[in-house]
Structure 1
Amino acid sequence: MAMIVLFILLLQYFSIAYSFEINVHYAEGNPELQAFRIEPYIDGSALVVVKNLYGKDCSEPMLRFRIIHSTNGTIIPIDMSLPVPDFNFNSCKYFNKNDENVEYDIGVERQPGLRVYSLTPGYLLVTYLNTTDVAASPAVFGLIINWQGEILSNNYLGDAYINNEGVQFSSKINFFAIEPDPPDERGQITLINENTITFTQIHSETRFIAFPTMGYGYCVITFGSTSSFRSPVDPQLWVYATFVQAKTNKVSKTVLIYQNTNNPPLKIDDITCGNSFIIVGYSCFTAVSEISINGGRYFVQVDFTSNGSVTDIKEIRDLNITNIDHIFMSMLILFNGGYLLTIHTRINEKNDNVLGYHVLDTNKTFQGSWNLPVTIELPKFGTRYAPMPNNSVVAIKQEGTSDIWNVYYSELPRFIEDEGYFNTIIDATTPKINNTIPMQTPSLSITYESPVELSSGNISIFEVNGKESYFRQSFNGQTMEFLSSDNNKKITINVFESTFNKPNQLHCVVIEDGFVNHKNTEEPLLGIKKNQWYILTGDSYGSVKLDIKSSKSFLNLQSEHEKKKIRDNLAIELSEAASVSPDRIKATEIYQNDQGQVVLLFSISATDDPFKSSANNIMKDLQSKLNITNSRFKVLQ
């Protein structure tokens, strides 16, 4: 099998809750159009893919999607034709119904050709198969489309292998990785790398899944089980992991992370894996059935690292999922700790039925069920619920062939709190989120909960003007002239003097996943996504150091009112010396005693008037004028 792994580097981070409320009602207008799949955006908006599931034509050559805006919950409908071969829309012909694990890519939608991904807010990616001969190996292309329904670009992404019998398995997995954040104004995306992974020992029972990892990579999970009786020492089921670093072309050795030799024979019903945000590493949940007359079903949770070390294995047997065929599973590793395990089963050819949403804490202990007020049916291989990055879950209820949607939102509890960075590993930053800093601030700092070491990820600073962002500075974790580490937990970032040189200007700091690694395990750690760490520049500040005699007089004053009067008078004197209005230079209450000499702090307000002196020029004027002619004090930078 040649399996294409579409590696989208926009990980979303979530947590969960136990109750829902209806926030949005929406009338589709056509009862044959059904909500099929929800994809979240980092700003809390959602992309809903809509399909004609109950019409007579199962290959309607249309892309239909709805955007649920995060600000007010309004839903914007977009219906558009696509310049792609018609067979991409044929959900009747190319899906191999004899093998429900067949899929064109690693996505869960499991349909021929067309696949929809959310990118950054305002954009989506549609991948499709492009060929003049369906029996030959088609290429995979990707359309970048904006929320207005405009196609910005059509990009070649790689090769696929599919024919009339469905996707063919072989011992190879072709992969490619793209970096879509953010697409430029022409919608171009950049190929990072491509190569082929070859597995030499593939059994007929072996299946594959993959998931993106932190630090520009992904993990391929190969797993399988056998129902035939074997020697007691032979495994009844097995799970292997292979890690790939997309930027370096590095492929790890395939390692065994779980096997079981118990009798009676065992079968893997489903498996789901992902990044862990609390432990350092990754987690897989495996649904296991005992093949016997009274066989039971349980779940196995495995924590592991990229070097193959298994850090924890736990069986979960208290979810009461028995005597049910064809279960499917999805697992969300929650950003603030814990897990949301969703289990559903096939009820007919078109729909699945959700059996339950199970909440597990950070110790994988069952904490209760996450209950919707209504039963939600899922379209076959679709999803009508999604975790959102604003600490909520969104779900859509659509009654049978009704054209009415109810959109449910749930606020989610937190097992572990974070400081607002959507990263529980970060203890603090200087400055904090939304803090105001002086212009020409020379450095920023990040303090982590665990020991870290600098790695290859980037840190970038952007100037924000409304919806537009402008690059100010960026450097790699290996650029040591700009970075220093204190006690392996605090990273200090030295910035250019020109980075924060505009008054009252909003900035955003973005840290890539893999900017630092965990020092002990060398696993790449989560960064800070865009639109999280905002910083506002304020007024400039200057300081004046009094001479010893004036300092002594100031310190001997018992009245704070008298001290304030001296500071205010000095501010007026500075304004006159700089030839600016008195409201430009203001005294602050801050002062310090520097070995018997008082240092007073003054704010210098900014101006957008090109005919008035900038704060920086005012300081230079005061230094050049007063430091030569005045003996009572010295103007400092």
Structure 2
Amino acid sequence: VRALENSSSVYEDTDNLQCFEFVPFISNGFTYPDGTGLMQLTRFDNATFQTENNLYIRLLHPNGTLTKFTVPTYNSTKYRPQAFPLNDGYVLVMQANDDQIIHGMLVNWSGQILQSDVMLTDGPIDNASRLRLLVKANVDPDKDFLVTIGFQWKIFSAPDITGQITQLYKGSITRHDGNWLGDYSIFPTTEGGYGIAVLEKLLFGQVKDPLVSKLFHYSPQWFLYVRFWQPDTLQFDTPHLVWQNPIPYYSIQIEGCEVAAEGTGYFCILEVPNTRDYVRVGFLSSGSVTDVNVISDDTENIEKIINGIRPLPC
């Protein structure tokens, strides 16, 4: 994904460009199971010096062929349209209208709109400019896919032979009292379900030292919780705390979460912008923590964290 996002110097789309006009750039990129790359291009309106609302899709196939099409969209004051891969042959396009309800369009690889108005959220989204819509296909992409925004989630069936999708499950998760939503990520599980990782932030807090009966203040505190959804169940399970910061960090964000390469468990990568370090947190679907590593910016100095790790249950 990162290679696609940063490959604008390799792939240039200069159709119909005039002298002194801005060159389009890749604003989003994903890869399908068959190796096809999905690229979302952003173009500038050279008259207004603002980005266009039209969605320009490029599909780079493993055999080197390129498919181009444009999805017509309508204006949104909060959200720009985005494209997400489903199973091979289909793209889910997200856009919001002025009532801040998130809609979806199902488009095939030829650019044909198969389903024009899928309700991805049931109502307006608060602070829609800050929240991110995430879409993740099942480990078996022909089965279903998960859509989340903030604390709302929905699971839809994969497109059928007529190119239609159906909502299967929906719900919401909650944060802990007093905590703020910092960031979130979603990932498929090897059991055919899904996981949601939520990074919660406690802005200010205090703890009492029983030895000296004094209150000590700290700020801020970060907590990484994971929840899992098993196939054919109605809700995600209870949150499991898998990491909290051992020292105060002003800002932390989730780079992403995935199935571990060895096939056992899962991991999330957290970025600490002010130190330019990364934290890799490994865990199981039971909530047990398997490993926590700090990866320094030079990627050569890797050391174990021994403070702030939740112990494994006996």
Question: If the length of structure 2 is used for normalisation, what is the TM-score?
Answer: 0.69
Match of 2:183 among 208, 218, 222: 208
Relative distance call for 1:274 and 1:359 in structure 2 (3 A) is farther
Structure 2 CA distance, aligned partners of 1:145 and 1:63?
A: 12
Q: Which amino acid aligns with 1:166?
A: S
Q: Following TM superposition, by how much is the alpha carbon of 1:279 offset from its aligned partner in structure 2, in angstroms?
A: 4.7
Match of 1:178 among 156, 168, 181: 156
Match of 1:156 among 101, 111, 119: 119
Determine if contact 2:43/2:52 at 8 Å carries over to the other structure: yes
Q: Matched residue of 1:248: which SS?
A: coil
Counterpart for residue 166 of structure 1: 129
Cα deviations across residues 118-156 of structure 1 (Å, max 9, x unaligned)?
2233321112235xxx3x552x33222122221112233
Structure 2 CA distance, aligned partners of 1:260 and 1:220?
A: 19
Counterpart for residue 237 of structure 1: 222
> Are residues 1:51 and 2:54 paired?
no
Q: Following TM superposition, by how much is the alpha carbon of 1:283 offset from its aligned partner in structure 2, in angstroms?
A: 0.8
Relative distance call for 1:279 and 1:149 in structure 2 (3 A) is closer
1:346-365 matched pairs, under 5 angstroms: none
Unpaired runs of 5+ residues, structure 1, are 1-11, 88-92, 95-111, 291-295, 321-357, 366-637
Q: Following TM superposition, by how much is the alpha carbon of 1:284 offset from its aligned partner in structure 2, in angstroms?
A: 1.6
Q: Which amino acid aligns with 2:29?
A: I
Match of 1:64 among 51, 56, 60: 56
Q: How many residues align structurally?
A: 265
Relative distance call for 1:247 and 1:314 in structure 2 (3 A) is same
Q: Following TM superposition, by how much is the alpha carbon of 1:164 offset from its aligned partner in structure 2, in angstroms?
A: 7.8
Counterpart for residue 218 of structure 1: 194
Structure 2 CA distance, aligned partners of 1:271 and 1:168?
A: 13
* Greater gyration radius: 1
Bigger relative CO (Cα 8 Å, ≥ 6 apart): 1
Counterpart for residue 15 of structure 2: 28
Match of 2:259 among 275, 295, 301: 275
Cα deviations across residues 336-386 of structure 1 (Å, max 9, x unaligned)?
xxxxxxxxxxxxxxxxxxxxxx699xxx78xxxxxxxxxxxxxxxxxxxxx
Structure 2 CA distance, aligned partners of 1:252 and 1:269?
A: 25
Match of 2:90 among 112, 123, 143: 123
Match of 1:146 among 98, 108, 111: 108
Relative distance call for 1:359 and 1:156 in structure 2 (3 A) is farther
Q: Matched residue of 2:111: which SS?
A: coil
Q: Which amino acid aligns with 2:36?
A: S
Structure 1 CA distance, aligned partners of 2:271 and 2:287?
A: 21
Per residue, is there more helix in 1 or in 2? 1
Determine if contact 1:192/1:246 at 8 Å carries over to the other structure: no
Q: Structure 1 residue runs of 4+, over 6 Å off?
A: 22-25, 232-235
Cα deviations across residues 425-457 of structure 1 (Å, max 9, x unaligned)?
xxxxxxxxxxxxxxxxxxxxxxxxxxxxxxxxx
Counterpart for residue 305 of structure 1: 284
Identity of aligned residues (%): 24
Q: Following TM superposition, by how much is the alpha carbon of 1:225 offset from its aligned partner in structure 2, in angstroms?
A: 4.7
Counterpart for residue 77 of structure 1: 68
Determine if contact 1:174/1:197 at 8 Å carries over to the other structure: yes
Structure 1 CA distance, aligned partners of 2:259 and 2:165?
A: 24
Determine if contact 1:177/1:191 at 8 Å carries over to the other structure: yes
Relative distance call for 1:178 and 1:227 in structure 2 (3 A) is closer
Structure 2 CA distance, aligned partners of 1:243 and 1:216?
A: 11
Determine if contact 2:153/2:170 at 8 Å carries over to the other structure: yes
Determine if contact 1:210/1:218 at 8 Å carries over to the other structure: no
Structure 2 CA distance, aligned partners of 1:62 and 1:288?
A: 34
Q: Which amino acid aligns with 1:269?
A: I
Determine if contact 1:161/1:167 at 8 Å carries over to the other structure: no
Cα deviations across residues 131-186 of structure 1 (Å, max 9, x unaligned)?
xxx3x552x332221222211122333324336873589xx712101232xx2343
Determine if contact 2:279/2:294 at 8 Å carries over to the other structure: yes
1:495-510 matched pairs, under 5 angstroms: none
Q: Which amino acid aligns with 1:208?
A: D
Structure 2 CA distance, aligned partners of 1:244 and 1:187?
A: 26
Cα deviations across residues 95-137 of structure 1 (Å, max 9, x unaligned)?
xxxxxxxxxxxxxxxxx0522012233321112235xxx3x55
Q: Matched residue of 2:232: which SS?
A: coil
Q: Following TM superposition, by how much is the alpha carbon of 1:27 offset from its aligned partner in structure 2, in angstroms?
A: 4.2
Q: Which amino acid aligns with 1:239?
A: L
Q: Which amino acid aligns with 2:284?
A: T
Structure 2 CA distance, aligned partners of 1:199 and 1:187?
A: 36
Q: Which amino acid aligns with 1:316?
A: I
Determine if contact 1:225/1:238 at 8 Å carries over to the other structure: yes
Structure 2 CA distance, aligned partners of 1:137 and 1:25?
A: 33
Structure 2 CA distance, aligned partners of 1:250 and 1:165?
A: 24
